[in-house]
Amino acid sequence: MKRLFAAILALMIFVGCSSADGTEAPVAPPTFNAADQGLPSYANNENTPDDLAALDDGDILYIGERFFLTQINQIFMNRERYLGRTIRYEGMFYSMHWEEYTYHFVIRNTHGCCGPDGMIGFDVALGEFDPFPDNTWVEVTGVLDEFEFSEWYNMLIINVTSIVEMPERGLEFIES
């Protein structure tokens, strides 16, 4: 069986997808039209993650449900592009006590290292706002900043300018 697999693999490597004259055979790219799927135009495949994170409402970068994970990851991977920007998104309010500090987050659940145990979102600096009970669905707006979490890592944080409880919950578990 291993010899058969090796022979087929070798044949595929040497033959490949070429025409009789040695030139590569053209392959049509997949087509996708967002409008055909009932999606907004920015969902077409010509958009890159950079485009996804640039969907602005004026000066506010809105992180929606459809590309929540993608947009948050884009911001974490390219923080220098987004520091100082005003960001708005929805999620669950959550507080964590560690040593003598209390940290607040607005997060959504996602896949983690051991199954569906991950969380994605940002720390939030409430300033003049009172914390909500854990698991309250909120919309948060604020300016992206960073603070020194340790001598080797700066955390991203939203300096809150508005945080309100929402009457309806969005998707708590995000996969994209």
- Local confidence band at 52 (pLDDT 50, 70, 90 cut-offs): very low
Q: Which residue has the higher pLDDT, 43 or 129?
A: 129
d(CA 106, CA 62): 14
pLDDT of residue 41 exceeding 80, the answer is: no
Instruction: Show the tokens assigned to 63.
Output: 């992180």
β partners of residue 45: none
For the chain, what is the mean pLDDT? Answer: 77
pLDDT tens-digit readout, 7-20: 454 444 444 444 55
Query: Considering only CA atoms, which of 74, 121, 75 is closest in space to residue 94?
Result: 121
Average pLDDT score over residue span 57-75: 87
d(CA 176, CA 120): 11
- Which residue shows structure tokens 């939030």? 124
Q: Which residue has the higher pLDDT, 119 or 41?
A: 119
Residue 85 neighbours by CB under 8 Å, 6+ apart: 61, 143, 144
pLDDT given at position 142 = 97
pLDDT of residue 69 exceeding 80, the answer is: yes
- Local confidence band at 26 (pLDDT 50, 70, 90 cut-offs): low
Question: What ranges do the domains of the chain cover?
Answer: 48-165
pLDDT of residue 2 exceeding 80, the answer is: no
Under CATH, which architecture does the 48-165 domain have?
Answer: Beta Barrel (2.40)
Cβ atoms within 10 Å, residue 3? 7
Residues in the chain: 176
Instruction: Show the tokens assigned to 151.
Output: 């001598």
pLDDT tens-digit readout, 87-107: 999 999 999 998 898 999 999
Q: Out of 20-24, 35-39, 130-134, 167-171, pick the least confident.
A: 35-39
Cβ atoms within 10 Å, residue 107? 20
pLDDT given at position 59 = 81
